[in-house]
Every structure is written in structure tokens, then in C-alpha cells.
Amino acid sequence: MQTIGIETAQNVVVQHEIASLGDRIVAYIFDALVLGAWLIFLAILVIISIDNDPSGIAIGILVVLALIPYLFYHLVCEITMDGQSIGKRARKIRVSRVDGGQPRIGQYLLRWVLRPIDGFYYVGLVVILINGKGQRLGDLAAGTTVVSLKPRLRLQDTLMTDVKPQHQVRFPESVRLNDAQAALIKEVLNNFKVGNRSELLREMAEKVSLAIGNTGSGLSPEEFLRAVLQDYVHLTGQAGQATSR
């Protein structure tokens, strides 16, 4: 599964999975069903109005009411629902800028304007398959893509890669951390792209020492963070095993 790197305010690059083509298709079908239900409801009203309004004024109003949601559904949903439509929310995917920021209204508008072109002979589907970053033409023009909000792996599985079964705990206080803090420590340790990495490690080490109440005297910031992370994974992993028995 392809991913894109989204840089946080702490200069940490977090990988987010590109939404799968299957999820996008299912979300599209779900949205189509929502719009279809709306059209069927209005069609019933039109049939009723034919008998009651021979002039056709009511029918014209109903046609307008049918077209407005059909035309603006995706645009309004994505602006008001944080980059999601009803179908996207059901599949836990959303629109995101490729640089990790929140899309602006203009970007949502550009995606919406190009939607008919993407739908013409499945052009958008072909572009997504070729592009490799989950982008249709509207996304390429707007600088956006669609990412998955589903967890890639259980955090515990991700963090246990470097911990041996015979691991000796040095910082039992590491259990004071939570999974989110442990994940952030790992991202900082694995982030080799940032220029001021030593300063970033130092700042993170200071925050962790305050959180667990241990300064890790004698260890460098990187050594301290790696030791705390390994201890956390070891201790929380043992607790999970004990609970499952």
C-alpha cells in the first residue's frame, strides 16, 4: 500500500496510507445511492404534482430541488465534513493535501469543477491507477489526494520490532506514557530528514523525562529515547499478554 509523508508541527514525518481504489469505489457507490434515494423521493413528488398542478410550476421547482443536491453534494460535503462525503465517512477515508495540510475551499472547489472530466469514460479511474498517489485529475490540479483513516497496524505490533524477549528494563517509569506518546518517540527517532535532528531529539528527551520522572542520566538524548521506547513496548506487551491469559 502506497503512503504519503505528512510533516507535523514538530517536524516529524508521519506516514499515511493512500486510500485504496476499492474504498474509493465503495464510497462513490454509497454516495450514488444517497443521491439516488433523493432523486427517487423527488420523482414520487413529481408524479403526485402532475395531477395537482397541470401548469407544471411545481414540477419545475422539484426538478431544481433535485439538481441542486446532485450538483453540489460532493463540494458541500467535503467543505462541511472535513474532506469527507457520507460515503467517504463510511469507508473512513478523506481528502487531504499532499503536503499534509487541511485543504482550502479553493482546492475543494477545483476538485469539484474537474469531477465531470474525471467521470468522463472513467478518466479519473485511469489516472488514479497510473498516478500511484491516489490522485485523479481534480486531485492533481488541486494538490490533494485521498487518505485512509484506518489504522495501518496495531501500534503494539509496530513498536515491538526491535525489542528482544530477554530485554532488561532500565526505565520502569516508561509505563506512564501512552501509545500516542510512544508512537511520536518512534517517529522522532526514525526521522533522519530533518536538519536539526539533534535539537529535535534533545527537546523530545526533555519532554519524555518530565513525563516519566527520570532524566536518563549518562545517556545521550537518542540513547535515552530508544531505551524508554523499548522499555515501554516490553512492559506494555507483557501486560497485554497477561490480560489475554
For residue 245, being part of any structural domain is answered with no
Q: Which of 38, 117, 126, 40 is nearest to 77 (CA)?
A: 38
pLDDT in tens, 72-96: 999 999 999 999 999 999 999 999 9
- Give the chain's domain count: 2
> What would the 3-class secondary structure string for 210-234 be?
HHHCCCCCCCCHHHHHHHHHHHHHH
Same domain? For 143 and 165 the reply is no
Who's near 13: CB < 8 A, 6+ residues apart? 5, 6, 7, 187, 191, 193
What's the rounded Cα separation, in Å, for the pair 224 and 188? 13
Same domain? For 15 and 99 the reply is yes
Same domain? For 132 and 187 the reply is no
Boundary (domain end) residue, out of 148, 172, 199 = 148
Find the mean pLDDT for residues 102-131: 93
pLDDT confidence bin for 180, thresholds 50/70/90: confident
What average pLDDT is seen over the chain?
82
Same domain? For 58 and 7 the reply is yes
Same domain? For 10 and 128 the reply is yes
pLDDT confidence bin for 131, thresholds 50/70/90: confident
Same domain? For 12 and 130 the reply is yes
228 pLDDT higher than 60: yes
Same domain? For 24 and 112 the reply is yes
Same domain? For 186 and 143 the reply is no
Same domain? For 141 and 57 the reply is yes
Boundary (domain end) residue, out of 98, 116, 148 = 148
For residue 164, being part of any structural domain is answered with yes
Q: Which of 137, 115, 138, 114 is nearest to 126 (CA)?
A: 137
Same domain? For 60 and 173 the reply is no
For residue 223, being part of any structural domain is answered with yes
Same domain? For 172 and 133 the reply is no
Task: Give how far the C-alpha of residue 4 lies from the chain's centroid of Cα atoms, to the nearest Å.
Answer: 10
What's the rounded Cα separation, in Å, for the pair 155 and 139? 30
For 13, phi and psi rounded to 5 degrees? -90, 115
> What would the 3-class secondary structure string for 40-57 be?
HHHHHHHHHHHHHCCCCH
Same domain? For 127 and 163 the reply is no
For residue 22, being part of any structural domain is answered with yes
For 63, the domain range is: 3-148
